[in-house]
Structure 1
Amino acid sequence: MKYLRYLLILIPVSIVFEFMHLSPTLVFVTSALAIIPLAGLMGEATEEISVYSGPRIGGFLNATFGNATELIIAFFALKEGLFEVVKASIVGSVIGNILLVLGASMIFGGCKFKTQSFNKKAVEVSSSMLLFSVIGLSIPAIFTHTVKVDLLTSKYESLSIAVALIMFLIYILGLYFSFFTHKDIYGSEHKGEVQSKWSLKKSILVLIIATLCIAIESEFLVGSVEAMTKAIGFSSFFVGIIIIPIIGNAAEHSTAVIMALKNKMDVAVEIAIGSSLQIILFVAPILIFLSLLFKPMSIIFNEFELVALIVSVIIANRVASDGESNWLEGVQLIAVYIIIAICFLIL
């Protein structure tokens, strides 16, 4: 993490590039790299606040701010009307967490330890929730893709809002389930005497400043997407499904791998699957609601995005079924991710 902080120098660089109207590709690259350490600082500040607030409020803060970077980037993409990029980034974040993050964690952890185990019961609950979430996203899409266009009337425009409300309600109930009624399933909350490195005031200040800086950099990033994709030849799908999720989740990705290297596979799996759940049940509905401020965005994904989601969740459920992992399972997850990435690259 400390090496990533050197990238903070790119904040003023990206601002200069933006206001000098230099190459959109340069603006995109500098703002993207600047977001990575900012996302890490946001996560670190949230963890520090949780030391003072206690595990329950800390858990809520982590759930809220864990995917804040993607939410901020997607908000500016919504504002620009880049709906396909927004929806691709939702799918990309989910498959990135399940395939890339979990796969990398299993490879690095598996190279150090022959077999690693994790809380099977807790992961089964999260995996089941993930399966429900993808089913919830699939049904409206299959419905609209199979029903004849002339049968779809204006009343179906409210379908996305209804689905988003149900998803958000499930997210709230899931938090209540894990933090109150069934918290015993999740065992100890990785506690021990945790010493705070920062004061509460410093933690809140860092969180606010990092969030504001991410908002500025996200506006630069989104503003340069279309020109950059045309210049390089990337599709907007590839940018949304691969590049933006990697940028937003870089700090989280490194944390999961570090936990696996410390033989804390419970935490690594929790980060990967838990973050995917937050994306579908929290971030996606919030984006649907926010889109009402501009132009309403549908929650309908294209066929290949749905296939990528379904395949990823099936693999996640399969990996979670025995409560153990090894490096070969990690290689398989990464291989599926690369295949999906190649398909979106040639679109």
Structure 2
Amino acid sequence: MRVLRYLLIFIPVSLITEFLHFSQPLVFVFSALAIIPLAGIMGESTEAISHFAGNRIGGFLNATFGNATELIIAFFAMKAGLFDVVKASIAGSVIGNILLVLGLSMLAGGLKYKTQHFNQKVINVTASMLLFAVIGLTIPAVFTHTVPSQLLNTRYEGLSVIVAVIMLLIYVLSLVFSFFTHKDLYAVETAEEAAPKWSLKTAIIILVISTVFIGIESEIFVGTVEPMTKAMGLSEFFVGIILVPIIGNAAEHSTAVLMALKNKMNVAIEIALGSSLQIILFVTPVLIFLSLMFSPMSIIFNTFELVALLFSVLIANRVASDGESNWLEGVQLIAAYIILAASFFIL
């Protein structure tokens, strides 16, 4: 996390280059580099608040703010009408967490420890929920692709809202399951807890300030997406599915790898799979509801996104089935991610 601190210099740099109207690709890079450390600081402040609030409320705060950076970026992209970028970022976050983050964690941990073990019951619950969530995303797309276009009308957009409501309800129930009715399954994760680095007041102030700056940088970042993609010859789809998730979750990704190096695979895997679950069950419904303020966004993903999502989740369920991991499994996950990234790049 110390390395991320040095990237804070890009906050004033990005603001200055935006104010002086530098080239858009350059502003894109600077704003992206500014968002990465801000996301890390937001995560640290949330952790500190969690210590004072207790495990139950703290768990809710971590779940809520864990993907706040991506939610903010997606909100400004949605406000700008970049719906393809928003939906691609949702799919890219899930794919990146499962294949890239989990893969890097298993590779890093596996190179240090021959075999690493994790709580199979907990991870199986998360993986199963993830499979359900992706199925929820798939049904609206299958509906629109199978029903003749002449039979479709504006009412089908209501299907996205219905699915969003159901997903948000399942998300709330999953919190009840993990923090109340079956909290004994997760007790092992709270056995070791370090003292917070900030006071409660300081943590709240830092959280508010980092959120405000992420909002500012996200607006700058989104505003440069279209000119940057034209200048660099990239598609908005590639930016949404690869670049946005990596930028928004860089701090969280590094934490998962560090946990694996400490032989805490329960934490590392829960970060990867739990974050994916939050993206689908919490971030996606919230974005659907927020889109009603502008232009309603459907929950329809394209075929390639859905296939990539399904294969990624099936891999997650397979990895979770034996309760152990090694470096070769990490290599395989990373290889799968690179193949998908290369495919998205040429689209």
Q: TM-score, normalised by structure 2?
A: 0.99
Which residue number corresponds to residue 52 of structure 1? 52
Kindly provide the CA deviation profile for residues 114-156 of structure 1, in whole angstroms up to 9, marking residues without a partner as x. Answer: 0000000000100000000000000110110111100112221
The question of whether the paired residues in 1 share the 8 Å contact of 2:109 and 2:261 is answered with: yes
Deviation of residue 193 (structure 1)? Answer: 4.8
The answer for the alignment partner of 1:7 in structure 2 is 7
Aligned-pair CA distance for 1:221: 0.2
Residue 242 (structure 1) aligned with residue 242 (structure 2): yes
Name the counterpart of 1:114. Answer: 114
The aligned residue for residue 165 of structure 1 is 165
Deviation at 1:21, TM superposition (A): 1.2
- Distance, in Å, in 2 between the alignment partners of 1:157 and 1:3 is 44
Distance in 2 separating the partners of 1:3 and 1:301: 36
| Matching residue's letter, 1:296 | P
Alignment of 1:47-86 (within 5 A): 47-86=47-86
CA distance in 2 between partners of 1:329 and 1:69 (Å): 29
Give the stretch that moved more between structures: 279-288 or 3-12: 3-12
8 Å Cα contact 1:89-1:240 kept in structure 2: yes
Q: Percent identity over the alignment?
A: 73
Structure 1, residues 42-77: CA drift from partner, whole Å, max 9, x if none? 000000111111111110000000000000000000
Task: State how far apart, in whole Å, the 2-side matches of 1:196 and 1:166 are.
Answer: 36
Q: 1:129, 1:100 → 2: CA distance? A: 20
How far apart are the structure 2 equivalents of 1:169 and 1:73?
24
* Structure 1 portions without partners, runs of 5+: none
Q: Which residue of 2 aligns with 1:183?
A: 183
Instruction: Return the alpha-carbon distance in structure 1 between the equivalents of residues 307 and 192 of structure 2.
Output: 41
Question: What is aligned with 2:87?
Answer: 87
Which residues in structure 2 correspond to 1:93-172 (within 5 Å)?
Answer: 93-172=93-172
Count of paired positions: 347
Alignment pair present for 1:326 and 2:329: no
Q: Secondary structure at the match of 1:187?
A: helix
Q: Is the 8 A contact 1:45 1:204 kept in 2?
A: yes
Which AA in structure 2 matches 1:72? Answer: I
What is the correspondence of 1:188-207 to structure 2 with a 5 Å cutoff? 188-207=188-207
Q: Secondary structure of the equivalent of 1:322?
A: coil
Runs ≥4 residues deviating over 4 A: none
Q: Which amino acid aligns with 1:152?
A: L
Where does residue 29 of structure 1 map in the other structure? 29
Question: Which range is displaced more, 14-23 or 303-312?
Answer: 14-23
Contact 2:106 2:325 in 1 (8 A): yes
Q: In structure 1, how many angstroms separate the alpha carbons of the residues matched to 2:42 and 2:154?
A: 41
CA distance in 1, matches of 2:109, 2:193: 25
CA distance in 1, matches of 2:185, 2:191: 15
Q: For structure 2, which runs of at least 5 residues remain unmatched after alignment?
A: none
- Offset from partner CA, 1:197-230 (integer Å, 9 cap, x none): 1111110011000000000000000000000000
One-letter code aligned to 1:49 = I
Distance 1:208 1:110 in 2: 38
* Preserved contact between residue 48 and residue 197 of structure 1 (Cα < 8 Å): yes
Q: Hey, what's the Cα distance between the residues in 2 that align with 1:190 and 1:109? A: 21
- Between the aligned partners of 1:213 and 1:311, the Cα distance in structure 2 is 36
Q: CA deviation at 1:315?
A: 0.3
* One-letter identity of the residue aligned with 1:162: I
Counterpart residue number, 1:268 = 268
Deviations 1:234-273 (A, max 9, x none): 1111100000000000000000000000000000000000
Contact kept in structure 2, 1:55 and 1:189, CA below 8 Å: no
- What is the one-letter code of the residue matched to 1:245? P
Report 1:221-240 matches (<5 A). 221-240=221-240
List per-residue Cα deviations over 1:68-122 (Å, max 9, x = no partner).
0000000000100000000000000000100000000000000000000000000
The DSSP-based 3-state class of the residue aligned with 1:318 is: helix
Looking at structure 1, the residues matched to 177 and 72 of structure 2 have their Cα atoms a distance apart, in angstroms, of 27
Q: Deviations over 1:151-186 (max 9, x none)?
A: 112221201000000000000000001100011122
RMSD, aligned α-carbons: 0.7
What amino acid is the match of 1:142?
Answer: V
